[in-house]
Amino acid sequence: MHAFHYADGRLRCEDVDLSAVAEAHGTPTYVYSAGTILDHYQRLDAALGELDHLICYAAKANSNRAVLRLLAQGGAGFDIVSGGELYRVLAAGGEAARCTFAGVGKSPEEIDYALAEGVFSFNVESEAELEEINRIAAARDVRAPIALRVNPDVEASTHKYISTGTHENKFGIGIDVVMRVYEAASRMPHIRIRGLQMHIGSQITEARPFAEAIGKVAPLVRELKERYGLEFLSIGGGMGIVYKRALDSGTGKWWHDHGGEESAFSVQSYASAILPPLRSLGVRVLLEPGRFLVGNAGVLLTRVRYVKQAAAKKFVIVDAGMNDLIRPALYQSHHEIVPVTEPGERRPENVDVVGPVCESGDFFAQDRELPELREGELVALMSAGAYGFVMASNYNSRPFPAEVLVRGGRFAVVRERQTYADLVRGERDFV
């Protein structure tokens, strides 16, 4: 489903004119479509209908409470990576018993908190962590449910900062040694072996690496099931989305509604690649999608402040900065930039779209062909629903932007814009 489209010359999210959002709540503001998030969740859920499965939304992608609540109400579980995320999920009405707790560096406090709340499973990334969990569970006199994260050593072509499934990075336990760690786990009195987990990377745009990784761990799953009664296999997240759209030469529109499928590869092709190897395993399947559910469901709405013609280039300076959306600076990632007022016959020109932060890395586009943008007009930085707000900072003492959720023709602030007073809250003088 594609919730962002032009109607009557204005860019809308569902039935809401984005300029009405800017008028009511200012800019920069993240705007999310509830309908899109639920549609993506339901389509994935339906495609896997024949399997005993649980979709654990990766809360790190967008952990706004209203977004978590939407998914909790839709029936999702959650993949969490910190005590803070567990707290948010619970505050949003999610259940700990449907949460998997991942991450390479869980603290004793986080482990204890997750045990107290009763998470579904800890995804364990090292033997040292396993021992620590065993020790903390002993103090509570409980058995901690665990899955080991195996590194299947599969190459998934994506940005090097978000590829995780090869032997060269810090994640998981080598596929050659993981059986030995399971044996060690089976001897720990406060550990209960529950699953096997893997995650090969993020923004993967083909189904092949997923199927390949499942194929690689399938023999392990069978053996673990026989030996220890393994209950589940988590195949991680990583399904990619479409960030880049070519100018539609047919209609000449800068932004056009493709309708239908929003994934880089379709839910159907993903499902048909992964279902055959999973079907025969006879264990429950967990998935941890983040970006796929929320990425295309959000935009960062920003206003053009100044247009500056320098000697060699034209700069369009907007009121959002790299502190609000860091993906272009950090990963050279592409976000479409779309005027809220439909550009029509405006002439195209090549510009840099930059923010107000004092860094040359503070850009959203470089040398990009865009319709001529005018001072004061609104533009949307598209596909910013995942890893957008959650990676924001207060750099340059810029307050966090607001977040707005749209449902049909209605919208509401789901996180207020920070104030200057918020910026210094908790700071103390020491004289």
Question: Active-site residues: which are they?
Answer: 358
- Count of alpha carbons within 13 angstroms of residue 166, beta-carbon side: 10
Nearer to ligand LLP, 290 or 355 (CB): 290
Nearer to ligand LLP, 169 or 186 (CB): 169
Block residue for tokens 């040292």: 128
Q: Which stretch binds ligand LLP (CB under 6 A): 83-91, 283-291, 399-407, 414-422?
A: 283-291
360: Cα separation from own chain's centroid: 26
Q: Which of residues 96-135 bind ligand LLP (CB under 6 A)?
A: 102
Q: To the nearest whole angstrom, how small is the minimum distance from the Cβ of residue 309 to ligand LLP?
A: 32
Q: Which stretch binds ligand LLP (CB under 6 A): 32-40, 86-94, 124-132, 231-239?
A: 231-239
Q: To the nearest whole angstrom, how small is the minimum distance from the Cβ of residue 146 to ligand LLP?
A: 15
71 binds ligand LLP (CB under 6 A): no
Instruction: Using CB under 6 A, pick the residue from 29, 134, 203, 383 that binds ligand LLP.
Output: 203
Q: Kindly state the number of chain residues that form the binding site for ligand LLP, as judged by CB under 6 A.
A: 21
- The residues, any chain, with a CB within 8 Å of residue 172's CB and separated by 6 or more, are 125, 149, 150, 151, 164, 165, 198, 199
Nearer to ligand LLP, 16 or 89 (CB): 89
Block residue for tokens 């809360």: 59
User: What's the one-letter identity of residue 2?
Assistant: H
Closest of 332, 364, 363, 371 to residue 248, by C-alpha: 371
69 binds ligand LLP (CB under 6 A): no
Nearer to ligand LLP, 11 or 121 (CB): 121
Structure tokens, 123: 């995804």
Q: To the nearest whole angstrom, how small is the minimum distance from the Cβ of residue 198 to ligand LLP?
A: 8
290 binds ligand LLP (CB under 6 A): yes
Q: To the nearest whole angstrom, how small is the minimum distance from the Cβ of residue 247 to ligand LLP?
A: 24
Q: How far is CA 296 from CA 53, 262, 383, in A?
A: 24, 8, 4
Q: To the nearest whole angstrom, how small is the minimum distance from the Cβ of residue 56 to ligand LLP?
A: 8
The Cα 380–Cα 301 span in angstroms is: 5
Instruction: Using CB under 6 A, pick the residue from 106, 291, 303, 335 that binds ligand LLP.
Output: 291
Buried b / exposed e along 33-63 (16+ C-beta atoms within 10 A): bbbbbbbbbebbbebbeebebbbbbbbbbbb
Nearer to ligand LLP, 51 or 162 (CB): 162
Structure tokens, 383: 């596909």
343 binds ligand LLP (CB under 6 A): no
Structure tokens, 115: 């045990």
Nearer to ligand LLP, 35 or 290 (CB): 290
Closest of 295, 339, 334 to residue 318, by C-alpha: 339
Q: Which stretch binds ligand LLP (CB under 6 A): 20-28, 197-205, 375-383, 402-410?
A: 197-205
Nearer to ligand LLP, 33 or 202 (CB): 202
Q: Which stretch binds ligand LLP (CB under 6 A): 234-242, 302-310, 311-319, 398-406?
A: 234-242
Cβ atoms of 399 and 420 within 8 Å: the answer is: yes
Q: To the nearest whole angstrom, how small is the minimum distance from the Cβ of residue 106 to ligand LLP?
A: 13
CB neighbours (10 Å) of residue 128?
Answer: 9
Backbone dihedral angles phi then psi of residue 381, each to the nearest 5 degrees: -90, 110
Instruction: Using CB under 6 A, pick the residue from 69, 327, 335, 398 that binds ligand LLP.
Output: 327
165 binds ligand LLP (CB under 6 A): no
Q: Which stretch binds ligand LLP (CB under 6 A): 44-52, 196-204, 210-218, 310-318?
A: 196-204
Instruction: Using CB under 6 A, pick the residue from 14, 17, 79, 336 that binds ligand LLP.
Output: 79
43 binds ligand LLP (CB under 6 A): no
Nearer to ligand LLP, 327 or 398 (CB): 327
61 binds ligand LLP (CB under 6 A): yes
- Can the peptide bond before residue 28 be classed as cis, meaning omega within 30 degrees of 0? yes
Q: Which stretch binds ligand LLP (CB under 6 A): 34-42, 217-225, 237-245, 367-375?
A: 237-245
The binding site for ligand LLP (CB under 6 A) comprises 58, 61, 79, 102, 162, 199, 202-203, 236-239, 288-292, 327, 331, 386-387
